[in-house]
């Protein structure tokens, strides 16, 4: 099988990660639904659980190799949601 000029050969997928990366973020509780909508619109880049409903603290879980994309997403939606990073367990 030969590839046409300019076409890349598909990369083999590496082994699946053994754990999820986590970040904790905070935003106004009334903005959680908006945050969920925006996250879903970005191909479910991460999953989140509400860690503290009254304080608006969310735990984001995502594939470790998507950390840069998750942080870029948080920067993009900061103006709309007011989301702030409060804890990065991986940076301990």
The 10s digit of each residue's pLDDT in 53-79 is 999 999 999 999 999 999 999 999 999
Structural domain that includes position 36: 21-91
pTM of the predicted structure, to 2 decimals: 0.77
27 belongs to a structural domain: yes
Task: State residue 64 phi and psi, 5-degree precision.
Answer: -55, -30
User: Any residues with CB less than 8 A from the CB of 49 and at least 6 apart, and which?
Assistant: 58, 59, 61
86 belongs to a structural domain: yes
1 belongs to a structural domain: no
List the CATH number of the domain containing 83.
Answer: 3.30.70.240
Residue with tokens 């304080």: 55
CA distance 74 to 70: 6
58 belongs to a structural domain: yes
What is the per-residue pLDDT for 3?
56
Q: Is 61 helix (H, G, I), strand (E, B) or coil?
A: strand
Report DSSP letters for 23-41, one per residue.
Answer: EEEE--GGGHHHHHHHHHH
The 10s digit of each residue's pLDDT in 29-48 is 999 999 999 999 999 899 99
């Amino acid at each position: 099988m030969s590839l046409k000029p300019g076409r890349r050969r598909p990369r083999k997928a590496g082994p699946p990660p053994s754990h999820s990366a986590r970040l904790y973020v905070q935003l106004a509780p009334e903005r959680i639904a908006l945050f969920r909508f925006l996250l879903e619109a970005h191909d479910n880049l991460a999953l989140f659980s509400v860690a503290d409903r009254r304080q608006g603290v969310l735990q984001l879980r995502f594939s470790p190799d998507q950390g840069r994309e998750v942080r870029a997403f948080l920067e993009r939606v900061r103006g709309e949601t007011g989301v702030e990073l409060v804890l990065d367990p991986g940076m301990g």
